[in-house]
Amino acid sequence: IATVQYLADRLIERGIAIVRPPGGHAVYLDAKDFYPHIPPLEYPAQVLVNELYVAGGVRGVEIGSVMFGRCVDGVEQPAQQELVRLALPRRVYTQAHVIYVAQVLEELHDNRGSARGLRIVKQPPFLRHFTAELEPLD
């Protein structure tokens, strides 16, 4: 719990919005705040998940419009929130690992204006967040 609190406090100090209070096992990043220039239907939470992995090999999970967006009468409706879950299982990561995650996020946050949205190019009819294919927008 102390490790999660450390990560949460460090991100808050740097102006990175999270869901408060942090959980006992995870920090949830607010991707709408992180990327205010990326509309919900360009999947800002998925953008952040991708950027984290490309920049630092950090794995998170999108909890936003890819996972919970709905298609009503052929028109996609975004999810209410665009979150990224960073889970920290017990007794797995050292403090150095958590500091590294914070540093990667801080660097991405400093350069967030250059991030672009995504579009879905292929998706199954159900549970698309597992196998959807997306590509960057120009």
Q: What is the pLDDT of residues 41-71, one digit of tens each?
A: 999 999 999 999 999 999 999 999 999 887 7
Angle at 117 between CA 111 and CA 121, to 5 degrees: 145
Question: Which pLDDT score is estimated for 23?
Answer: 84
16-35 pLDDT, tens per residue? 999 999 988 999 999 999 99
pLDDT for 134? 93
Q: Is the pLDDT of residue 72 over 80?
A: no
Q: Residues with Cβ < 8 Å from 93, sequence gap 6 or more? A: 3
Specify the CATH number for 2-113; select among 3.30.470.20, 3.90.1150.10, 3.20.20.410, 3.40.50.2020. Answer: 3.90.1150.10
Residue 59 to residue 97: CA distance in whole angstroms: 12
Contact yes or no for 51/104 (Cβ under 8 A): no
| Beta carbons within 10 angstroms of residue 66's beta carbon | 22
